[in-house]
Amino acid sequence: MSLSEGDRVFVNRSQTDWQPIEIVIAKVGRKWAYPLDSRKYWPGTRISVKTLELDGSRAYGRCYLSKEQWQEICEKEAEERAADAAWEDMKRKMREMWQRPAHLDEATIRHALSILFPDVSDTSRAASAALHERRPDPRYPRSTKADL
């Protein structure tokens, strides 16, 4: 990512901006680039050459090398927000459930678990039963009729 004098970049100051503002780079240093007529937009504004982040007293946001790049990133962020909202909905509905829904069988639940947690090894019914079987507590030996 290299900026040079005369390049046009698109500045988006927040997620609520509908359209980015196009600015022209006037001067490029080793660390910072300065927009042409920065007083028009934000006094004292400079752009990090490395990250394309705005820096200044009243300037914040990010620059993009093209409007298409800005649109791609906006679409990805919108997809992420939608996925996060769906995840929150699912978590809320799961918290509200006290019992397994009648229409879900073990295979369906295990399939959902394998989708949600692909890196966890398969837990079969036998493994699950072995984990949950009642074992006698060694601290309390069983009494027999002979002991009584």
Q: How confident is the model at residue 92 (pLDDT cuts 50, 70, 90)?
A: very high
How many degrees, rounded to 5, is the angle at CA 27 between CA 24 and CA 29? 130
Q: Which residue in 74, 78, 48 sits closest to 63, CA to CA?
A: 48
How many angstroms from the chain centroid is the CA of residue 7?
32
Q: What is the mean pLDDT of residues 39-44?
A: 68
pLDDT in tens, 62-87: 888 888 988 898 889 889 999 999 99
Q: Mean pLDDT highest for which of 7-11, 76-80, 116-120?
A: 76-80
Query: Which residues lie across from 35 on neighbouring strands?
Result: 25
Phi, psi (rounded to 5 degrees) for 136:
-65, 140
d(C-alpha 53, C-alpha 60), whole Å = 7
Q: Mean pLDDT highest for which of 54-68, 104-118, 128-142?
A: 104-118
The pTM of this model reads: 0.56
Compute the residue count for the chain.
148
Q: Is 62 helix (H, G, I), strand (E, B) or coil?
A: strand
As given in the structure block, the two tokens for residue 125 are 């019914």
